Chains A and B, each alone.
Chain A
């Protein structure tokens, strides 16, 4: 059954989307409600991702959805891709993360920077969910400053020897292929010169010297696998290097894809929380009447509804700019930062409206709130995104001291 968005569509935003975009959203949302929601509590508690649903996600067509049909993808608009992320994160940020990584951080760089041979080898397999990918940029000592990365690829006969480690990698342990960014050649002592040598490598599961380890005991994104990747003299053949990009702009352009999806996704988590809080406040009576009628609860509901409305408008405009090909990293950064922050506020307010019930897994709102703690600082921390906008409007960079 198609979900009704009408009651909370305060500005008739639905009219901004094409028939096709609305149908895509409802197709994914129906799937999330009927197939994913019954499983999430169990997986969240166990700290596992529902891998059994990957074939269904592939059949739905959400992996690399914007890429062309010739690679087994659906070729949807960027706005539709945004709505897909919104519908997925309505379910769980971990579900959206899984799809974002596969699409924006693995399939996108292979499509944008890979050879035709690499595209044909990997994209149809990744689109069909027969292969899973991850993206290795962040390192244990280098998060907000990726240019400082220590992972090195030393040229050898027929390829490169990779050494280093990557941290906080979504899907790491599940992956058949890792898109790993490394500096080529020996350390020259000049960080900025060395970052110009950054290249992307397709490191395959089973390559000798490549290993992974899973982060356990997370209090957030529990239904998502987060890993460390280790490279010890891993031989990567020349054919596995992405030929068409060099320098930090490679990984940063991938992050723009992923951040765009996150900006949309966060509104989905917020929507779930608003719908749930409204329903609960309408059903829960105290002092002889529904708590939805109390001013303090209405303030929270009104704030949630207002911020979600604004967040969706940001996304819609961002989608149009992306489709026009003029979108800037700073524009994406604004929406990623504020939408995630506001979604976390929404989730926290929903949890408060629920009272004691809010802490229960079955209420889902604190799960969203906990997840959004990760989303707030991954793909560029909240603070760093302020600095990106700061630089865009002042012309002065706060990075590098």
Chain B
């Protein structure tokens, strides 16, 4: 069995992101592997551990600085990686990213494609689904449990109103949710082993793609502006010596000041 895992980089979730000229200022921000993708990576590594003969490959659309995060993924136990880096990709839409991924993933002949359900940067949640469409294979989203058979799968997805169970034939794309597993910590042996693994680099042209289909100009969507949420106003402590007095004061304020009663 061959498993491809789609990973992307997002700003560190601990980073404080400010706005500059009405756009998020990402200069100086540390980039990490998208947390939802960590579940996909863990699922791939566990499957490979449990099914002898399984090989795993991580595929990332990134830039020249993305190797560190790919080594991170290799350190967790993924066998090899593919990095698609091209300046023309800057500002591409999720659909365009999915096109680049599809071009890189197709020749791999993967039976299973795993990706996080969404990136925690813009939270589009589109790329994995679009990738399945472009490859013309099935997609199951928000997967919290995955069982893989010979050429078949059974996936569970948690919804607000219950659990959805999907069964079907491989190959397929699964986008992973929290709860599918508990991602492991990297360890030193894994990190040392990662050094010896292969990262294959692609540009758009080496994938047979045209730069004109990518980037801001071809995106079809434009980020026109961003604003910080309004700052929280200070709270107010209700005065009163007893609970009854406090309730009386609260009711008075709701009636006279807030005018909601």
Decide if B35 touches A74 in the complex (CB within 8 Å): no
Residue B75, interface by CB 8 Å: yes
Interfacial chain A residues near B188, Cβ < 8 Å? 24, 27, 60-62, 65, 74, 76, 80, 84
Residue A2, interface by CB 8 Å: yes
A-B contact count (CB 8 A): 68
Decide if A61 touches B30 in the complex (CB within 8 Å): no
Interfacial chain A residues near B15, Cβ < 8 Å? 4
Residue A42, interface by CB 8 Å: no
Of chain B, the residue at the smallest CB distance from A6 is: B30
Using known A-B contacts A1-B35, A24-B191, A74-B192, determine if residue A31 contacts B71 with beta carbons closer than 8 Å.
Answer: no
Of chain A, the residue at the smallest CB distance from B76 is: A27
How distant is A122 from chain B, measured CB to nearest CB, in Å? 19
Residue A59, interface by CB 8 Å: yes
Residue A393, interface by CB 8 Å: no
Bound-state Cα–Cα, A3 to B13, Å: 10
Bound-state Cα–Cα, A120 to B188, Å: 21
Q: Mark A81-109, 1 if CB is under 8 A from B, else 0.
A: 00010000000000000000000000000
Interfacial chain A residues near B75, Cβ < 8 Å? 23, 27
Q: Mark B31-67, 1 if CB is under 8 A from A, else 0.
A: 0100100000000000000000000000000000001
Q: Mark B197-227, 1 if CB is under 8 A from A, else 0.
A: 0000000000000000000000000000000
Residue A75, interface by CB 8 Å: yes
Of chain A, the residue at the smallest CB distance from B29 is: A6
Interfacial chain A residues near B67, Cβ < 8 Å? 19
How distant is A206 from chain B, measured CB to nearest CB, in Å? 31
Task: For chain A, residues 293 to 350, give those with C-beta under 8 angstroms from any C-beta of chain B.
Answer: none
Bound-state Cα–Cα, A24 to B75, Å: 10
Interfacial chain B residues near A27, Cβ < 8 Å? 75, 185-188, 191
Interfacial chain A residues near B32, Cβ < 8 Å? 1-2
Interfacial chain B residues near A5, Cβ < 8 Å? 30
User: Which size class do A's interface residues fall under?
Assistant: 20 to 34
Bound-state Cα–Cα, A6 to B29, Å: 8
Residue B158, interface by CB 8 Å: no
Decide if A60 touches B195 in the complex (CB within 8 Å): no
How distant is B13 from chain A, measured CB to nearest CB, in Å? 6
Bound-state Cα–Cα, A218 to B71, Å: 43
How distant is A165 from chain B, measured CB to nearest CB, in Å? 36
User: Which size class do B's interface residues fall under?
Assistant: 20 to 34
Task: For chain B, residues 1 to 25, give those with C-beta under 8 angstroms from any C-beta of chain A.
Answer: 12-15
Bound-state Cα–Cα, A60 to B190, Å: 9
Task: For chain B, residues 242 to 261, give those with C-beta under 8 angstroms from any C-beta of chain A.
Answer: none
How distant is B143 from chain A, measured CB to nearest CB, in Å? 22
Q: Which residue of the partner chain, among A3, A30, A74, contacts B185 with CB atoms under 8 Å? A: A30
Q: Which residue of the partner chain, among B13, B28, B185, contacts A31 with CB atoms under 8 Å? A: B185
Decide if B187 touches A59 in the complex (CB within 8 Å): yes
Decide if A1 touches B13 in the complex (CB within 8 Å): yes
Residue B163, interface by CB 8 Å: no
Interfacial chain B residues near A187, Cβ < 8 Å? none
Q: Mark A13-38, 1 if CB is under 8 A from B, else 0.
A: 00000011011100100110000000
Residue B166, interface by CB 8 Å: no
Bound-state Cα–Cα, A31 to B15, Å: 19
Decide if B189 touches A61 in the complex (CB within 8 Å): yes
Q: Which residue of the partner chain, among B30, B35, B71, contacts A20 with CB atoms under 8 Å? A: B71
Q: Which residue of the partner chain, among A2, A4, A23, contacts B191 with CB atoms under 8 Å? A: A23
Q: Which residue of the partner chain, among A6, A23, A60, A76, contacts B72 with CB atoms under 8 Å? A: A23
How distant is A345 from chain B, measured CB to nearest CB, in Å? 27
How distant is B154 from chain A, measured CB to nearest CB, in Å? 31
Of chain B, the residue at the smallest CB distance from A56 is: B185
How distant is B23 from chain A, measured CB to nearest CB, in Å? 20
Interfacial chain A residues near B72, Cβ < 8 Å? 2, 23
Interface residues of A, Cβ cutoff 8 Å to B: 1-6, 19-20, 22-24, 27, 30-31, 56, 59-62, 65, 69, 74-76, 80, 84
Q: List 25 A-B contacts (CB under 8 A).
A: A1-B13, A1-B35, A2-B32, A3-B14, A4-B14, A4-B15, A5-B30, A19-B68, A20-B191, A23-B191, A23-B194, A27-B186, A30-B186, A56-B185, A59-B185, A60-B188, A61-B188, A61-B189, A62-B188, A65-B188, A74-B191, A74-B192, A75-B192, A76-B191, A84-B188
Question: Which 3 A-B pairs have CB atoms at the shortest separation, nearest pair first?
Answer: A61-B188, A74-B188, A27-B186
Besides the known contacts A60-B185, A74-B191, 6 further A-B residue pairs in the complex with CB atoms under 8 A apart: A2-B12, A2-B30, A23-B194, A60-B187, A69-B189, A69-B192
